[in-house]
Chain A
Amino acid sequence: MSAEQEGSILSVQHLTVHFPYGNTLILAPKDFVHAIDDVSFFVKSKEILGIVGESGSGKTTIGNVIVKLVRPSSASSIVKFDGQNIFSQSPAQERSYRRNVQMIFQDPYDSLNPRSRVMDAVSQPLIAQGLVQDGDSKMRMVSNALRAVGLNLAEVLYKYPHQLSGGQRQRVAMARAIVARPEFIIADEPVSMLDVSVRSEILNLMLDLRRDFDLTWLFISHDLAVTRYVSDRIMVMYLGRVMETGPTEEIIGGPQHPYTQLLVATVPAIDSALEDRPRAKVKVRGEIPSGINPAPGCRFQSRCPYALEECRKIDPPLIEVKPGHNVACLLVRAGKPEKT
């Protein structure tokens, strides 16, 4: 792991987030939703890491932890940005961290304040960070950000969100994210609310912004095809655990974990209209189990077509099968078998 972490801008180690469940007002909580269980990963500078998973897999919670909307539940959870633990920052460090790390949310209809005009929304981070002294420099920076996301200044500057289309709103949200010149942006399902024709514009914009502003992206999505398009590496999550992580083309082209294999096989792909492939699909049984006090063993064991007796007892650790490609499955072994 340590070799891989060279050049990484963000590293997450043993991140665990449990939410108490049930009546917590009077009684001490008995049950916990295990949103994230001992997850470690890193993001290299200027890369796009895609996190994919079904609903309830914990991918959104990861984003929320990184922007400090949610605190980890375990003291051994460490999130480092630029080598600095984000949970023990001085106020000045925290201030610069909050400028450096920005987030774009799923729903551009909800994430923009309906009562502030585009100008005000986009200049907000500048004012909060004390980055502008006068109206002129504010105007200049806002205009630059809006131009960078491909919006026509004259058309949008003094409009309210309800006067904009969905694609325009998401561009405004992106302008707001980049206006203070961050290094790292988390995009949580940024295109799932948009029409297909608009979606591709936003995805292309993400790639362009990375090139023009040297940005690093954490891209969170449930859509494998979209994630493949933008990401350099993909991390597959299931019920709060990492199942597999590796370079995009290896994950899509040669998935090792049974869960990833099923995911790749069940995603509807437009190509299947052309190739005449009556797919010999492995059937997925059942549905995603609840994350409340999960059973021991592998999280995917209840739906896995290859599950063994051992899988119910041992929670498999991530094992490196190829350089940079890690899989958490007892059936997949590289070199020496792991002892638990």
Chain B
Amino acid sequence: MQGAMNSLDPLYRVGKQLTEAIRYHERSNETKAWSRAMELLELVGIEESRAREYPHQFSGGMKQRAMIAMALSLNPDLIIADEPTTALDVMIQAQILDLLRDLKKKLRMSVLLITHDVSLLAEFANMIGIMYAGKLMEVGPLARVIGCPLHPYTCGLISSIPSLTGKKERLMSIPGTAADLLNPPRGCRFNPRCSMATEVCMQKEPQLVEKRPGHLVACHNVS
């Protein structure tokens, strides 16, 4: 499932697009595929009467629901959701996340949620991985990574996010700009922006190592 609003083909009716994947992968006829498509739409909360509409007649939230239905059509074990709610308003975002959460439970699947929004992960994920410049910096259970981040990049990231309910403190920021991937820095990719960088960080790239039970960090300075 892709995040963009533009992943549906504007020239095909939504129901028709759903049957395509089903017919391609499972040898079934048009009618069978269509009734399966209707089941899927019901599952994601779209009325059957709307299946014959074109994508431009759908709102952003409904398009995303249709995309989820399409992703479910072959009974997957894993759904990859790449920025599924980025273009949506907060309330619709909450609806889509609720839907994903329900489906995850009902259909016993796993979800890999890719996003730039740490707050979104905080609401949804069990485990989170923090990436920087093409490398995983930290992986661990949600509450551990957000609550006591070990990697300097994660610390900076989390203290730069304004909170809705907590104390109002001056936000921190990470100096510099994201690493140039054409010419990534030697050693640890975060070292030019890291306040704790030492000699070894510029020479050797740190490996992702388990520093606490279930909590992996790629940093020379974390013991």
A interface residues, Cβ below 8 angstroms from B: 54-55, 165, 167, 195-201, 203-204, 222, 224-226, 228-229, 252-253, 262-264, 266-274, 281, 283-284, 287-288
Contacts and interface: CB of A to CB of B under 8 A. Distances in A.
B123 A196 contact: no
Interface residues of B, number: 43
Given A266-B90, A273-B146, A287-B61, A199 B160 contact: yes
26 contacts: A165-B177, A197-B157, A200-B172, A200-B173, A203-B171, A204-B173, A222-B90, A225-B161, A225-B162, A225-B164, A263-B91, A267-B164, A268-B120, A268-B124, A269-B119, A269-B164, A269-B165, A270-B118, A270-B146, A271-B165, A272-B122, A272-B123, A273-B122, A274-B146, A287-B61, A287-B92
A288 B89 contact: yes
Contact of B160 (A200, A253, A287): A200
Contact of B93 (A55, A266, A269): A266
Contacts of B106: none
A231 B138 CA distance: 33
A229 B165 CA distance: 11
A224 B92 CA distance: 15
Contact of B171 (A200, A267, A274, A284): A200
Nearest to B121: A273
> What secondary structure prevails in chain B residues at the interface with A?
helix
A228 B173 contact: no
Given A270-B122, A287-B61, 11 more contacts: A196-B160, A196-B161, A197-B173, A224-B164, A226-B162, A252-B165, A268-B93, A269-B165, A273-B146, A287-B59, A287-B62
Given A262-B91, A281-B94, A271 B174 contact: no
Contacts of B163: 225, 269-271
Contacts of A203: 162, 171
Contacts of B98: 281, 283
A197 B179 CA distance: 13
Contacts of A253: 165
B118 A196 contact: yes
B143 interface: yes
A273 B142 contact: yes
A281 B120 CA distance: 16
A229 B171 contact: yes
Contacts of B168: 228-229
A282 to B, nearest CB: 10
Contacts of B121: 273
A270 B157 CA distance: 11
A196 B163 CA distance: 13
A268 B146 CA distance: 14
A269 B171 CA distance: 15
A149 to B, nearest CB: 14
A167 to B, nearest CB: 7
A272 B62 CA distance: 27
B164 A204 contact: no
